[in-house]
Amino acid sequence: MARSGERVGGSKVSLSVHEQRTILVVSHGHRADAIDAARHVIDSILAAGTGVALAELDRSELGLHDRTDIARLGIDVGVADISLAIVLGGDGTILRAAELVREGTAPVLGINMGHVGFLAEIERDDMADALRRAIAGDYGVEERLALEVRVKDTSGDVIYETWALNEVTVEKASRERMLEVVLEIDRLPLSSFGADGVVVSTPTGSTAYNFSAGGPVIWPTVEAIAVVPLSAHALFARPLVVGPEASVAIEVLARTNGTGILWADGRRSHDLPPGARVIVRRSARPVRLARLHPAAFTDRLVRKFGLPVAGWRGPVEPATGMLPVIALEDDA
């Protein structure tokens, strides 16, 4: 559902002057520039007559415990009351913000204060204009596919549930032992092998762990799930791309000598004993990202990775506006 002020599908919903908005501010608490920027953002939002909320961790790291004009998330305001989350940091901080607003509908607007920052919408140099537009509700919303995860024991009972925006990984818990697993797609076994683990990634996460593991880069507009074995000892252990409605299961074989560990976005973890079964599916609840500027993913890849494009001329348009006629010469 669109909130007042958001653009969905190219149209903008008008922001009512009588609507009280509360913006959640999330910051990287160990970078001086991010802390200074967060304090500036908070003061600017309050000066515009809009409410500000902070999670307890951010209140502590920003040194704002005594500010009575800043609401406490989960105490003074609930997640459902948050209209937007502004994040100052890198992708890790944006993932934390997505976790904070997971049960609500607020989109996340990332201001990159880190290095690569694939999830961030803008760089720090454009912060003033971005802040003005965010306060006015002048932004679009992009929904990204997320994953839901269940872990079952040998009895079939669900012992752990979580979700992920970037990826879910099943990894070996100790360096000296491989993890023996069976990979299953849509309730059918595909292959068993020993490995360091398996990465199950969304298109959003395809430029993260999936990319480092040799998996494919998937455009965010493509709805798919990537499955990439990690250092597998097998003849068939290639990266796979399956449909968005596919069910991916990874069973830790009971005969394995080691134990495994499940990680979701590198933030949430759960131990996997022998015999554990991890089921990964598309989540019914996508993650919402606030967008200020329509940008091609190709441009983002080139900019973030510093890809070489020198010498590119681009398509040549005929002056007449008509398709060119290509004469085929006789090879003889």
Give the integer Cα–Cα distance in Å for 292 and 6: 10
Structure tokens at 239: 């990266």
Give the position of tokens 């940008």. 295
Beta strand 167-172 with 197-201: parallel, antiparallel or unpaired? antiparallel
Q: What is the CA radius of gyration of the chain?
A: 23
Contacts of 4 (CB under 8 A, 6+ apart): 13, 14, 15, 16, 19, 137
Q: How many CB atoms lie within 10 A of CB 86?
A: 25
Q: Is 91 a catalytic residue?
A: yes
Identify the active-site residue in 58, 91, 196, 265. 91
User: Containing H/E element for 211?
Assistant: helix 209-212
**Cα–Cα separations (whole angstroms), residue 79 to 28, 38, 206:** 20, 20, 28
Cα gap 136→275, rounded to integer Å: 52
For 92-146, the DSSP string reads: HHHHHHHHHTTTS---EEEEE-SSS-SS-SEEGGGHHHHHHHHHHT-EEEEEE--
Cβ pair 209, 293 in contact under 8 A: no
Instruction: Return the bridge partners of 142, or none.
Output: 289
User: Can you state the percent helix, strand and coil of the chain, rounding each to 5?
Assistant: 20, 35, 45
Q: Which residues are marked as active site?
A: 91
